[in-house]
Structure 1
């Protein structure tokens, strides 16, 4: 009954089954591993952020360039505040507001973007406190340049003068006429009554949309394993039923086997021949 499994068609089906199952299991396991890596990175970033706040501040030069090991580290920088920009569409505790970003000129001839605090509402330069004058020393958490469109960073362009959508060197270099550090600092304590901006986790270390996409892909790959096995058994059962019906001389509804069709044609021919003989033996009405 199962000799059909040796046909070329079923050889192809069986090879597909044997190859697709381990492939799907591998891809599902890989996606699950990616999700677990992101969970672990999120836990490490959370733990590191708490420990970094307790560490002594270090000079900025000791922490550059910024990477995942230095993001959130405490740094101290001395310089003079200059140009001030507002960063709109920033959320804090469920409320929408804006960051007050001020460029701090250092003795090295470059400027460091410093987020002095957060204010609620729409950006308003008249409400943003002016920066302190003279030489100041700031202490805060080191942050990497933002990427528009990621982690809630706005990507819209055409902002009014005095505003920027992202705190990044690539964006700010078009707004100010001097060299910048490829980093920024958020003060531990908000300046002039503003609320302090919390430290952002490094990219690819949070439980963001990408992490849950990995989890969704994991479920899809393992579900595909079950679907492939189900379809194989369904095809097998159908083939077994057709083979059994053929052995019993049964035909599916609306079809005829070759033997049945041949017998039907033979009976029709015999009936036609018999009718012809009857016509030949019948007397002619004219008596001829």
Structure 2
């Protein structure tokens, strides 16, 4: 009954199925390993951010450029506060508010360091944002890499009113001041002027972002493909067996329809 499996046509089908099934399983396992690696990266980055808060602060220049190792480490810089901006649509403790971002022109280099002095609830309102301290100040906070839309929920929307920015990055701030801007920023350990301190976040690329869940989705797709190959192989075998039985009974297509109706 199953001798047809040894025919040249079925040899091709069998070989194709035998190659496709392990390939799909391999690809699904690989995508799952990529998701697991991102989970581990996120866990390590979160632990590092927490542990870095206990380490003594280091001069800003020693921690640049920001990478996965230095992100979240305590940095210190001295300078004078200048231009102030608001960063809307930022979540903290389940509430929506905005960051108060002030550029600190550092002593020595003259470059501007974006400093998140704190978070306030509600819609971005310049009248509610406390003015920065005057004179020379020394700030200490967690070092962070420049943001890009999509990182840690950063909005990509444009058309913001003057005095606001969607992302904290040198690319978006460099045109606002006549001097250079560091490709990094810090968030103060203690919120300035009664504002709530913004906790440091894991560096970009080490969190459970869209790419991580894409890996998880691809994992399911590859395993579904493997199951589909098995399903189609058994279905083709079943149809071949039924056709062989019908041939043994001498049924022609018209007779098959009659037998089915009965």
TM-score, scaled to structure 2: 0.93
Alpha-carbon displacement from aligned partner over 1:241-260 (angstroms, at most 9, x marks no partner): 2112212323345569xxxx
Q: CA deviation at 1:135?
A: 0.6
Corresponding residue for residue 241 of structure 2? 240
Kindly indicate whether residue 27 of structure 2 is the aligned counterpart of residue 27 of structure 1. yes
Q: CA deviation at 1:148?
A: 1.6
Question: For structure 2, which runs of at least 5 residues remain unmatched after alignment?
Answer: 258-262
Determine if contact 2:66/2:144 at 8 Å carries over to the other structure: yes
Kindly indicate whether residue 221 of structure 2 is the aligned counterpart of residue 220 of structure 1. yes
Shift of the 174–8 alpha-carbon distance from structure 1 to 2, 3 Å rule, reads: farther
Residues of 1 paired with 2:252 and 2:201: CA distance?
Answer: 71
Please show how residues 204-215 of structure 1 align to structure 2 within 5 Å: 204-215=205-216
Corresponding residue for residue 119 of structure 2? 118
Residues of 2 paired with 1:12 and 1:61: CA distance?
Answer: 64
Kindly indicate whether residue 47 of structure 2 is the aligned counterpart of residue 51 of structure 1. no
Q: CA deviation at 1:122?
A: 1.2
Residues of 1 paired with 2:234 and 2:26: CA distance?
Answer: 22
Residues of 2 paired with 1:253 and 1:232: CA distance?
Answer: 27
Q: CA deviation at 1:39?
A: 1.2
Q: CA deviation at 1:156?
A: 1.3
Corresponding residue for residue 189 of structure 2? 188
SS of the counterpart of 1:34?
helix
Corresponding residue for residue 262 of structure 1? none
| CA RMSD, Structure 1 to Structure 2 (Å) | 1.6
Q: CA deviation at 1:160?
A: 1.1
TM-score, scaled to structure 1: 0.85
Alpha-carbon displacement from aligned partner over 1:69-115 (angstroms, at most 9, x marks no partner): 11000011111111111111111111111111001011211110000
Q: CA deviation at 1:223?
A: 2.2
Corresponding residue for residue 93 of structure 1? 93
Corresponding residue for residue 276 of structure 1? none
Q: Work out the number of aligned pairs and report it.
A: 256
Kindly indicate whether residue 161 of structure 2 is the aligned counterpart of residue 160 of structure 1. yes
Q: Which moved more, 1:204-213 or 1:60-69?
A: 204-213
Corresponding residue for residue 67 of structure 1? 67
Corresponding residue for residue 230 of structure 2? 229
Alpha-carbon displacement from aligned partner over 1:53-77 (angstroms, at most 9, x marks no partner): 1000011111100011110000111
Determine if contact 2:46/2:201 at 8 Å carries over to the other structure: no
SS of the counterpart of 2:76?
strand
Residues of 1 paired with 2:79 and 2:244: CA distance?
Answer: 88
Residues of 2 paired with 1:149 and 1:245: CA distance?
Answer: 60
Residues of 2 paired with 1:254 and 1:53: CA distance?
Answer: 82
SS of the counterpart of 1:198?
coil
Residues of 2 paired with 1:252 and 1:3: CA distance?
Answer: 23
Corresponding residue for residue 286 of structure 1? none
Q: CA deviation at 1:215?
A: 1.9
Question: For structure 1, which runs of at least 5 residues remain unmatched after alignment?
Answer: 257-288
Determine if contact 2:49/2:201 at 8 Å carries over to the other structure: no
Residues of 2 paired with 1:67 and 1:112: CA distance?
Answer: 17
